[in-house]
Structure 1
Amino acid sequence: MDKPVLRADARRNRAKVLAAAEEAFAVDGLAVPLDEIARMAGVGAGTVYRHFPSKEALFQAVVVDRLEQFAREARELLTAEDPGEAFFDFFRRVVQQASRNRALCDALAETTGLGFKAGAGDEFRSATQALLTRAQAAGAVREDIDGDDLRALIAGCLAAERYSLEERHLVRIIVDGLRTLRNKT
């Protein structure tokens, strides 16, 4: 069954809600009140609920959208001339961008307790796994790392970014640890 087509004003309101939610969740995660998101979007709470049945559904929509953007970026890098540097650049970029966004930190570390709907992060996992596999085949990344390890390392880097006094120092150490011996910088 196809989704109903939204009127132009409804599409605009939905876009405003998503933009406001992305901004609010980035700062406060799930702790932000739904009324605050509605206020930031310039709409009533009823408008938010018409588009999203709960704050958790809105949170998932925002996070899934960002994870899908990351997945698109990873797939674009699958044709990069240097698979190793493409992987490491992507890894650092994900950590850098997500570390400034509490919602992404929580989602990537799977600390929200939401149990994202089936398939919510599958594109991200699949694309990052393909990027990892290609970098490993090129001899740039250790062979004993798999997709689950990669997710855990991203989550660990996000935590390191929060608590490290020297910006990205610990991330650099983790990235160096992913390199094969012949590709250490």
Structure 2
Amino acid sequence: MATAAKIDRAVVAAADLFIRHGFARTTMGDIARAADMSRPALYLLFPGKEEVFEAVVLHLNHIRMADIEDHLSDATTLADRIFTACNLWLVQVFELQTTTPDARDMDDLSIPVVRRVYGELEARIARLIAEAAPAGLPASAADLARGLVFSVRGLGAAAQDVETFRTMTRLQVDILCRAIDPAS
């Protein structure tokens, strides 16, 4: 089997384990068994669990970002486009953490790869803002996107359930879009 296929198999298996059991309780042996390979074979692909975790976070982010791109054409307004991105990324992360508490490791901002994928979401939302916003934004598109992403992320501390979180997310997006373009 080609190395790329083995890596994909290990990453998919590890994603399930990290989500269900968290980083600390998942071992390289667990990942190897779930991927139907030996530990030495897994170590040939990844030097350690941290590198597997990084590959998993990037893999899951790739899926989320592709899903966003697939759904953006369905949204017509700037608010709908930004909400689509937030719903398919931030709300999904909140829902995953609600249903599988050990998945919180996948959203730990002390981990560089997690900060990196948040940066990718910010950049995508900044491009949406820059493409659609009138001249004279109250701040740079990047700053507006970062503020939105982290204000929405923070709403998770107050939300009791996914629908409340989704509603609060929509409100944040609408407030931002009104600040960008009061006529919207």
For normalisation by structure 2, the TM-score amounts to 0.70
Q: Where does residue 54 of structure 2 map in the other structure?
A: 60
1:80-102 CA distance string (max 9 Å, x none): 53232121122112123223166
Q: Deviations over 1:51-85 (max 9, x none)?
A: 11111111111111222333344455279532321
Q: Distance in 2 between matches of 1:120 and 1:129?
A: 14
| Equivalent residue number for residue 125 of structure 2 | 128
**Residue 87 in 1 paired to residue 82 in 2?**
yes
1:18 to 4, 8, 11: 11
Whole-angstrom CA distance in 2 between matches of 1:84 and 1:131 = 10
Provide TM-score, normalisation by structure 1.
0.70
Structure 2: give runs of 5+ residues left out of the alignment: none
Task: Flag the 1:106–1:173 CA change in 2: closer, same or farther, 3 A.
Answer: same
Cα distance in 2 for partners of 1:117, 1:174 equals 20
CA distance in 2, matches of 1:123, 1:82: 21
Q: How many residues are treated as equivalent by the alignment?
A: 168
**Gap regions ≥5 residues in structure 1:** 1-7
More helix by share: 2
- In structure 1, what is the equivalent of residue 41 of structure 2? 47
**Percent of paired sites with the same residue:** 18
State the 4+ residue runs in structure 1 displaced beyond 6 angstroms.
none
Closer, same or farther in 2 for the Cα pair 1:132/1:168, shift >3 Å?
farther
User: 1:69 aligns to what?
Assistant: 63
Q: Per-residue deviation at 1:134? A: 4.2
Q: Which moved more, 1:14-23 or 1:88-97?
A: 88-97
Cα RMSD of the aligned pairs, angstroms, is: 3.5
CA contact (8 A) 1:17 1:38 kept: yes
